[in-house]
Structure 1
Amino acid sequence: MQVRIATQDDEAEIIRLLKEFMEFEKVDLLSDEEFRSVFTTVLAMPERMQFLVAETDQIVGMLTVLWGYSTWKGKPVATLEDVYVRPDMRGCGIATALLAHAFGLAKERGCARVDLVTETENYPAQALYKKAGFELVPRVPFTKKL
């Protein structure tokens, strides 16, 4: 298995995984045009965000890294989103490898920390993140749809 930063050639596979992930989370799918726009936007701004992919003979997992900055730490930070591995490939160390690669990139950029959020009831993901060294922090996430 190899973990790497996505390229333009990965468009169809990343869109496939994003669709699977959205179906898994039971959210409305974007249109094909919107998915292509998401992919193009991410690839156009590597200083702000990147897709990481894990592949064997095909791409089997992904995550999105958002690059930010902490005014409290005076250093860059990374936020991980869209951590997803195909159901038939779970338990094979793919998510762990994706996280490790993201940690390496964050260290290279001098990040003070790596953040992520998961759903309250997603216990398998929470176990994975704790095993990877994440700590539960006492915060309450808020969002506002626009």
Structure 2
Amino acid sequence: MLEIRRASMDDLTHLMDLYSSLTDEDLYMRFFVYHKVSEEEVRRILTQEDHITILACRDGKVVGEGSLYDNGEFSLVVRREHRRLGIGTRIVSSLISLAKEKGLPRVIFYTLPNNYPMIAIGRKLGFSLKFDDEEVVGSRAP
């Protein structure tokens, strides 16, 4: 069973494990730069007040993470072996609900043109998509 919940500092090692499991390509899709995520970065994801981070957990293991920022932008990552199971869609749906609760006028994502799974989630959830050579921007009202 999949559980979607807010992240806390108690999740530090679980979130580090999630990011450690990702390939360089996965990390580039999430952060738009090639690098390994440091413990300090994960601490910021869990503690900075400009966003809310939620986790998707299955059998006590963090399998996905989504963060919604105060400006409506969100990010998403799902553990490779748990993709194509609807987890990303569930995370984004939860982020849309959080945006509505916060009274945000729009939710927005930026992704690369070859991030087909994120584009598919955007289409499925009714995002307006704008394509160019370097990025895809998805937006919608919550």
| Structure 2 counterparts to residues 51-70 of structure 1, below 5 A | 51-57=53-59, 58-68=61-71
Cα distance, 1:99 vs. partner? 0.6
1:36 aligns with 2:39: yes
* 4+ runs deviating over 4 angstroms: 138-142
The letter of the residue matching 2:36 is L
Find the counterpart in structure 2 of residue 16 from structure 1. Answer: 17
Q: Does 1:97 align with 2:94?
A: no
What does residue 5 of structure 1 align with?
6
Measure the CA separation in 2 of the matches of 1:140 and 1:89.
29
Q: How many residues align?
A: 127
Gap runs ≥5 in structure 2:
29-33, 136-142
Deviation at 1:140, TM superposition (A): 8.1
The two structures have a TM-score, normalised by structure 2, of 0.77
Offset at 1:106?
Answer: 0.3
The equivalent of 1:126 in structure 2 is 119
Q: Given residue 15 of structure 1, which amino acid in structure 2 is its aligned partner?
A: M
Cα deviation, residue 22, structure 1? 5.6
Are 2:111 and 1:111 aligned? no
Larger radius of gyration between Structure 1 and Structure 2: 1
| Deviation of the 1:8 alpha carbon | 1.1
Change (3 A) 1:39 1:104: same
SS at match of 2:70: strand
The 3 A distance-change label for structure 1 pair 95 and 138 is: closer
TM-score, normalised with respect to structure 1: 0.75
Q: Which amino acid aligns with 1:79?
A: E
Structure 2 residue identity aligned to 1:56: R
Paired residue type of 1:2 = E
Unaligned runs of 5+ in 1: 69-77
Aligned-pair identity in percent equals 25
CA RMSD, 1 decimal:
2.2
State the secondary structure of the residue aligned to 1:59.
strand
Question: Are 2:52 and 1:50 aligned?
Answer: yes
Bigger Cα displacement from structure 2, 98-107 vs 88-97: 88-97
